């Protein structure tokens, strides 16, 4: 699990907005969309792996995945939310 202190200092690499840890309920909703192949990242790639954790941008438009407890804060890997 990522520490609260680390989350407090992390920022979106594109907009520099704050990030919050996505709730389990939110992730479940996104995983349902992944199962239907409805989510893409900013690179235009369809997301095909379920999310176990993620960091949600303050405006709610982008989700950055956390893989093996490491936040993937690459702009093109941000998942576009509708």
The pLDDT tens digits of the residues spanning 3-58 come to 899 999 999 999 999 999 999 999 999 999 999 999 999 999 999 999 999 999 99
CB-neighbour burial class of residue 41 (10 A; exposed 0-12, middle 13-18, buried 19+): buried
The SS3 call for residue 29 is helix
Give the DSSP H/E element, type plus range, for residue 54.
Answer: strand 54-57
CA-based nearest residue to 48, from 40, 60, 56: 40
* pTM for the whole structure: 0.94
Q: 9 is in which domain, residue-wise?
A: 4-80
CA-based nearest residue to 45, from 75, 68, 10, 79: 79
The residue with greater pLDDT, 82 or 66, is 66
Task: Tally the domains of the chain.
Answer: 1
Within 8 A by CB and 6+ apart from 60, the residues are 81
Confidence of residue 82 (pLDDT cuts 50, 70, 90): confident
């Amino acid at each position: 699990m990522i520490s609260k202190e680390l989350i407090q200092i992390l920022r979106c690499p594109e907009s520099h907005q704050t990030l919050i840890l996505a709730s389990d309920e939110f992730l479940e909703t996104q995983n349902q969309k992944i199962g239907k192949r409805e989510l893409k990242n900013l690179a235009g790639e369809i997301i095909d792996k379920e999310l176990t954790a993620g960091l949600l941008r303050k405006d709610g438009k982008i989700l950055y995945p956390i893989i093996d407890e490491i936040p993937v804060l690459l702009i093109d890997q941000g998942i576009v939310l509708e």
